[in-house]
Structure 1
Amino acid sequence: MNLRDKYIELYNTYIKRDGADKLLEYMLSKSSDFFTAPASTRFHGSYEGGLVEHSINVYECLVDYLSRGRVKDIYDLNYDSETIAIVALLHDLCKINCYRPGTRNVKDERGVWKTVPTYEYDDKMPYGHGEKSVYIITGFMKLTREEAFAIRYHMGFSGCEDKRCIGDAFEQFPLAFALCTADMEATYFIEGK
């Protein structure tokens, strides 16, 4: 099964909320490049389809994180499968239509310059990162408060917002911390550069 089909299967299996069908329809439409977009310009998932792959990786990391050790036994964070799928599979919708193919020059191992393909960041709707994902999703379906905060603060302390707000969000909404952890695990350990 290819990544597109796997994503759609996860989405349709777990996300049943009113409006979810319209959101997926948008993601599959010509108005969206979600299934072909990279996850970044030069780092993790910086290739065609990197965004959908990253979203699946985050989903798998979040499911694993919430089911093991202290998180499961001590903190007893019980989220339904729909909430987990929503925050993980949709956390980076802000990256839809933000990257365009380009080229850059780099030296090869012999010191010779060559032109290589890359992506350039070109966001036509600069509304932030997590907040833009929340904005896009809520145009189609409702989010719980905890889902919205998890998606909004999934970048954790690597974002540019006030650090007190991030800490407060993590304290009040543990799913935000869990999603951030899953996102970092997928980005740095599974996908790497």
Structure 2
Amino acid sequence: MENIRDIITNKLMETKREGMEDLLVGLEEIGFWEAPCSTQYHLAKAGGLAEHSLNVAIAADSLEAALLPSTIGVDHNSVIITALLHDVGKCGGFGKPNYIENILKSGKQSASKPYASNKDLLYVDHEIRSITFIEKYIELTEDEEWAILMHNGLYGSFRYQIQGKETPLYLILHSADMWAARVMEKEEEDA
């Protein structure tokens, strides 16, 4: 079976978006493949961010197939790009990781909260960092940028801006993100 890196790489390359090969090099440079997804909640482990991104893509693919008649006009490549890259900003920026190991006074990594936010990195919402990183390499459409910026919906910093401006792509991404974090990854945690 292919590993997560190979699956994500193949899915991104299948979009044929100009600059994708360079973006994949950039993912390597910022530590995407090793980054945790959160400090203590879903997939707070090395490689958790890549695993979460793939889970979101799987859920988004299913939602797209179930919900979108061809007349709505959401490009499948947009679904894949936003699903796989929506949280890339969680890697951090300026050569600094967003999350660092949470080492206790005992010298061991905390089991209940394995990671902490890096205090040496100025805080910027990860949605903004994601768009900034992606657009160094590939051009996003307005709809893709909006979906990534708003993907946390009422749980994010932009909760007041999204109300009444939901797009089909945003709804797929947000729903898939929530499904991955609250259902798929919860089942893994409980197993």
Distance 1:78 1:63, change over 3 A: farther
Q: Which residue of 2 aligns with 1:46?
A: 44
Q: Secondary structure at the match of 1:6?
A: helix
Q: Which residue of 2 aligns with 1:59?
A: 57
Given the alignment of the two structures, is residue 178 of structure 1 paired with residue 176 of structure 2, yes or no? no
Q: Distance in 2 between matches of 1:76 and 1:125?
A: 43
1:191 is aligned with what amino acid?
E
Q: Distance in 2 between matches of 1:181 and 1:116?
A: 31
- Where does 1:1-193 land on structure 2 (aligned, <5 Å)? 1-14=2-15, 16-29=16-29, 32-68=30-66, 71-73=67-69, 76-96=71-91, 97-104=97-104, 116-117=110-111, 118-122=114-118, 124-163=121-160, 165-170=161-166, 173-192=167-186
Q: Distance in 2 between matches of 1:43 and 1:185?
A: 14
**Does the CA contact (< 8 Å) of 2:74 and 2:168 recur in 1?**
no
- Percent of pairs identical after alignment? 30
Deviation at 1:48, TM superposition (A): 0.8
**Does the CA contact (< 8 Å) of 2:153 and 2:159 recur in 1?**
no
Q: Secondary structure at the match of 2:52?
A: helix
**Does the CA contact (< 8 Å) of 2:100 and 2:116 recur in 1?**
yes
Structure 2 spans left out of the alignment, 5+ residues: 92-96
Deviation at 1:178, TM superposition (A): 1.4
Scaled by the length of structure 2, what TM-score is found? 0.84
Deviation at 1:188, TM superposition (A): 0.2
Deviation at 1:161, TM superposition (A): 2.7
Richer in strand (by share): 1
Q: Distance in 2 between matches of 1:115 and 1:6?
A: 30
Count residues with an aligned counterpart. 176
**Does the CA contact (< 8 Å) of 1:102 and 1:119 recur in 2?**
yes
Scaled by the length of structure 1, what TM-score is found? 0.83
Structure 1 spans left out of the alignment, 5+ residues: 106-113
1:160 is aligned with what amino acid?
S
**Does the CA contact (< 8 Å) of 1:150 and 1:175 recur in 2?**
yes
Q: Distance in 2 between matches of 1:125 and 1:34?
A: 19
List, as ranges, runs of 4+ consecutive aligned residues in structure 1 with deviation greater than 4 Å: none
Alignment RMSD (CA, Å)? 2.1
